[in-house]
Amino acid sequence: MSDSSRSDGGQAQSAPAEVEVLVVPDCPNRSGAEQLVRAAIAEAGLGRIEPRTRVVQTDEDAARLGFSGSPSFRIDGRDPFGPAGSPSMACRLYLTAAGLRGLPELSALTAALGRSRSR
């Protein structure tokens, strides 16, 4: 079995090629988002993936990237939580079991990584 695939019932599943955390400068949730994505990668059994953090500097960058708030997550260029609205340089909120929070739940991000493997 190679490092980039696993066997599950005879079907190979590939790992995401790129995982990103997108944030605005001085985002108060940056550190938590970076820790969360590393934990989700580990929980999904994808420890060989090194997530990247991208700082979105301008409204133009936000529009070009389809960035809908900080922090946002991308798995192979896709936001697993869907666009939260118009491109925005503001804080992003996620609906969790505890209500609206600045970060998604670990289980939600881990599940998104798992879904990306089955594509």
Q: What is the pLDDT of residue 116?
A: 74
- Which residues, other chains included, contact 78 with Cβ-Cβ below 8 Å and sequence gap of 6+? 116
Output the average pLDDT for the chain.
86
Indicate yes or no: pTM above 0.85: no
CB-based burial of residue 13 (10 Å sphere; 0-12 exposed, 13-18 middle, 19+ buried)? middle
What digits encode the pLDDT tens for the residues 41-52? 999 998 889 999
In tens, the pLDDT along 65-92 reads: 989 899 999 999 999 998 767 888 999 9
d(CA 60, CA 88): 10
Tell which wins on pLDDT, 103 or 87.
103
Residue 38 pLDDT > 80: yes
What are 58's two structure tokens? 């301008």
Per-residue model confidence (pLDDT) at position 98: 96
Phi, psi of 64 (to 5 degrees): -65, -40
